[in-house]
Homo-oligomer: A and B are copies of this chain.
Amino acid sequence: MDELRNRAILLNSRPNGYPSQSNFKIIESDIPEINPGEFIVKILWLSVDPYMRGRMSDKKSYAPSVGIGDVMVGAGVGKIISSRNNEFEVGTIVEGRFGWQEYAISNGTNARKISISEKDSSQALGVLGMPGLTAYFGLFNLGKPKPNDTVVISAASGAVGSVVGQLAKLTGCKVVGIVGSDIKASYITKELNFDNAINYKEQNVNQELQNICPSGIDIYFDNVGGETLETVLENLAFRARIIVCGQISQYNLYDDEIAHGITNFRNILTNQVTVEGFIVSRFSADFPQAFEYLENLFSEGKLKAKEDIITNLENVPTALLRVLTGENFGKQIVKISENN
């Protein structure tokens, strides 16, 4: 394989506030010979997700930080081009935590074969991957939705939020999405069948929630935290459930900046609310059933997914910034090369 060169993006420094290009460094290297049990994946698609901001920080979190000089972590989908592992043959499409690079060597531990066609294989990073599973387990296992429950979702047109809303609609819930543009608002109501959308940049979220949810919110699927969370806490139904999946509004603070303070925590008491933070890996034992459920819905056309695709490895940092600022529209994917 010595004709092949790999390019990878390393973490070069830790960001203060939003990340910038200078926090990353691109390097080129030979791809080493593989050992027995290993295989080489040519990466086709990289996933770009909000949690990556957390990995760039050295603050304590649920997963270790990326070290300075290490390849940035992340999931990708690729094709096996060389293999010394009988379980993973050349030509197989796999999804795994391959990092921000063009080629990855794996022993199969963190890779899964996917049954989706190569053309649609990027979906294994979105609706048919971790974001889809996150939506599924957060909504069903923690939210415990019933028909007619009012479900509010922030970052509602995103990779997770859009699936949460569609699954809640299929359960018979009333679904309200909070988004950051009129185009996204129109997308979730017209294409995804949400009942209502609120554009938090243009509308008074509190007023809209009061109007749209007169009996209060039964389930809040929180991807953003901060002010939106505080506003939702003013509009909860008795025994509401809050699923804390992301807090993206608080991910890009400057070192001397304090996170938004939630001043109405007391409503958790008065409304007897359950708030639960979760990381999808907790439910790994049940991933197979969830994948099957989501794949069936998707193949029947009952679960729609929008992708926002940028091309070229060097654009992954730009794609991350898009996700963190909400500029992306749909699941952010980087297509590694034009001629995938």
Contact = CB atoms under 8 A, between A and B. Distances in A.
B60 A270 contact: yes
Interface residues of A, number: 34
A277 interface: yes
A56 to B, nearest CB: 15
A270 B61 contact: yes
A262 B244 CA distance: 15
Contacts of A250: 265-266
Interface in A258-281: 258-266, 268-279
Nearest to A262: B262
A261 B275 CA distance: 17
Nearest to A245: B269
Nearest to A142: B274
A246 interface: yes
Contact of A272 (B238, B261, B271, B278): B278
Interface in A82-106: none
A265 B247 contact: yes
A57 to B, nearest CB: 11
Contact of A276 (B54, B262, B270, B273): B273
A259 B270 contact: no
Nearest to A226: B265
Question: How many copies of this chain?
Answer: 2
A165 interface: no
Nearest to A250: B266
A282 interface: yes
Contact of A266 (B225, B271, B273, B282): B225
- Point out which of A62, A229, A258, A268 has the most chain B C-beta atoms below 10 A from its C-beta: A268
A47 to B, nearest CB: 19
Contacts of A225: 265-266
Interface string A57-70: 00011100000000
Interface of A: 54, 60-62, 225, 229, 238, 244-247, 250, 258-266, 268-279, 282
Given A244-B268, A272-B276, A274-B275, 7 more contacts: A225-B266, A247-B269, A258-B263, A261-B261, A269-B279, A270-B277, A275-B275
